[in-house]
């Protein structure tokens, strides 16, 4: 088998592919033939050396992957050989709130999914929706579960008829848009170009705001909501003050990321005046993954994939993802598929 390895901070050029003996699953472990791995922003952070959680030396990177069970260790009962599965990013986080006991994560302190064969604890696996391909299923563990947590993980959840605001067109935002529509919400999305605006509308966005043409996009959200604001905001950019200006009184802002190392301080008057809940979150637990998959199956939701690269071309996949030009997920696949938009 082959795996990619990298030291945190070594960058994309530090990715090295190596041959290994096929691993043998121990008690409670499952050997999975990884068919596809999807890139997320946290994977770029690992390569750059600025990921916020521990990263072990010479780690197999990438948290998101899907494949087929090929061998079971002693005592495994949760899955069977031949089943299609994906791994949870935080393997020990089964349910409930996140805690320090759940810090171990794939592609960080644990080896990840940019490999041909992965050893995974049986309790860290979920079966993937039947209508999804391996490539589509590989996009779910990080971005999709994060979006699901942002919409449902506060104990109340997005309700039909409410207004959801998503920022940009990254993986989390696209999943939030799709889930929001499936849950019966009105969705307002922001973006930076006419082309992306059209694609967001095709995915179901009810209103799209070009934040480059409309600098006061928070004000525009209020105009579109009769001055009430959005009931829920998924903030992937760390623009919390603007998100608070756009959210409704007693609304909810899910803070799931940031794009700058520094940000201006939040005006306490804006925070207090919003009456909103600001909840920082990272991915979600296995129970949320399972609940999300039920909605995906019921509504036949399909993830948006921008481009696929072959396993041998994984560094090129990272370079393309890092360019910021993708609309949808960038996926590394084990084998070429007929009529797939593979890299040259």
What does the pLDDT look like over 40-89, one tens digit per residue? 999 999 999 999 899 999 999 999 999 999 999 999 999 999 999 999 99
Distance CA 132, CA 313 (A): 23
pLDDT at 266: 83
265 pLDDT above the threshold of 80: no
pLDDT at 260: 59
Q: Which sign does the torsion angle of CA 38, 302, 306, 326 carry?
A: negative
Whether 128 contacts 293, CB under 8 Å: yes
Closest-CA residue to 295 (of 153, 164, 129): 129
Question: Is 1.20.58.60 the CATH number for 154-280?
Answer: no
CB atoms near residue 82 (< 10 Å): 8
Distance CA 247, CA 253 (A): 7
pLDDT tens, 272-282?
Answer: 888 899 999 98
Distance CA 61, CA 270 (A): 39
Tokens of 20: 């290994």
Distance CA 164, CA 326 (A): 23
Closest-CA residue to 38 (of 165, 171, 139, 133): 139
Distance CA 309, CA 9 (A): 23
101 pLDDT above the threshold of 50: yes
pLDDT at 261: 59
CATH 3.90.180.10 domain position(s) in the chain: 2-144+284-333
Express as a percent the part of the chain with pLDDT over 70: 96
Residue 263: pLDDT band with limits 50, 70, 90: low
pLDDT at 269: 85
pLDDT at 341: 44
Question: Is 3.90.180.10 the CATH number for 2-144+284-333?
Answer: yes
CB atoms near residue 333 (< 10 Å): 24
pLDDT at 185: 98
Distance CA 165, CA 207 (A): 10
Distance CA 277, CA 79 (A): 39
Distance CA 312, CA 134 (A): 18
181 pLDDT above the threshold of 70: yes
pLDDT tens, 129-180?
Answer: 999 999 999 999 999 999 999 999 998 899 999 999 999 999 999 999 999 9
User: Residues with Cβ < 8 Å from 214, sequence gap 6 or more?
Assistant: 220
pLDDT tens, 3-31?
Answer: 999 999 999 999 999 999 999 999 999 99
- Cα separations (Å) of 187 from 47, 65, 96? 34, 29, 28
Which residue carries 């994984």 as its tokens? 314
pLDDT at 267: 85
By the 10 Å C-beta count (0-12 exposed, 13-18 middle, 19+ buried), 287 is classed as middle
Query: Rounded mean pLDDT of the chain?
Result: 94
pLDDT at 273: 84
CATH 3.40.50.720 domain position(s) in the chain: 154-280
Tokens of 286: 């296995």
Whether 125 contacts 137, CB under 8 Å: no
pLDDT at 139: 98
Closest-CA residue to 201 (of 212, 190, 213): 190
pLDDT at 5: 98
CB atoms near residue 37 (< 10 Å): 35
Distance CA 49, CA 52 (A): 9
Lowest-pLDDT range of 28-42, 185-199, 296-310, 330-344:
330-344
Whether 326 contacts 343, CB under 8 Å: no
């Amino acid at each position: 088998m082959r795996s990619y390895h990298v030291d945190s901070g070594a960058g994309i050029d530090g990715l090295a592919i190596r041959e290994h003996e096929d691993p043998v699953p121990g008690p409670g472990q499952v050997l999975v033939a990884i068919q596809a791995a999807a890139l997320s922003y946290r994977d770029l952070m690992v390569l750059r050396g600025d990921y916020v959680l521990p990263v072990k030396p010479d780690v197999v990177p990438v948290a998101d992957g899907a494949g087929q069970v090929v061998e079971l260790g002693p005592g495994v009962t949760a899955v069977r050989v031949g089943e299609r599965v994906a791994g949870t990013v935080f393997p020990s986080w089964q349910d409930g709130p996140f805690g320090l006991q759940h810090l171990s994560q794939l592609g960080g302190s644990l080896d990840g999914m940019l490999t041909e064969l992965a050893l995974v604890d049986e309790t860290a696996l979920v079966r993937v929706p039947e209508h999804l391909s391996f490539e589509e299923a590989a996009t779910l563990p990080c971005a999709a579960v994060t979006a699901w947590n942002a919409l449902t993980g506060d104990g109340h959840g997005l309700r039909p008829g409410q207004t959801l605001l998503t920022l940009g067109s990254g993986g989390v935002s696209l999943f939030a848009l799709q889930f929001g529509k499936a849950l019966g919400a009105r969705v307002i999305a922001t973006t930076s170009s006419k082309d992306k605006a059209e694609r967001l509308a095709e995915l179901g966005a009810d209103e799209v705001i070009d934040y480059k043409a409309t600098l006061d996009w928070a004000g525009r959200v209020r105009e579109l909501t009769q001055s009430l604001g959005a009931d829920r905001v998924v903030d992937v950019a760390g623009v919390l003050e603007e998100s608070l200006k756009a959210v409704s009184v007693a609304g909810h802002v899910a803070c799931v990321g940031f794009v700058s190392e520094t940000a201006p301080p939040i005006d306490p008057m804006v925070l207090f005046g919003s009456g909103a809940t600001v909840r920082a979150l990272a991915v979600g637990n296995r129970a949320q993954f399972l609940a999300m998959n039920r909605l995906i199956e019921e509504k036949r939701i399909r993830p948006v994939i921008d481009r696929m690269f072959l396993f041998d071309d994984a560094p090129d996949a990272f370079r393309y993802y890092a360019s910021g030009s993708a609309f949808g997920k960038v996926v590394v696949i084990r084998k070429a598929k007929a009529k797939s938009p593979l890299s040259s």
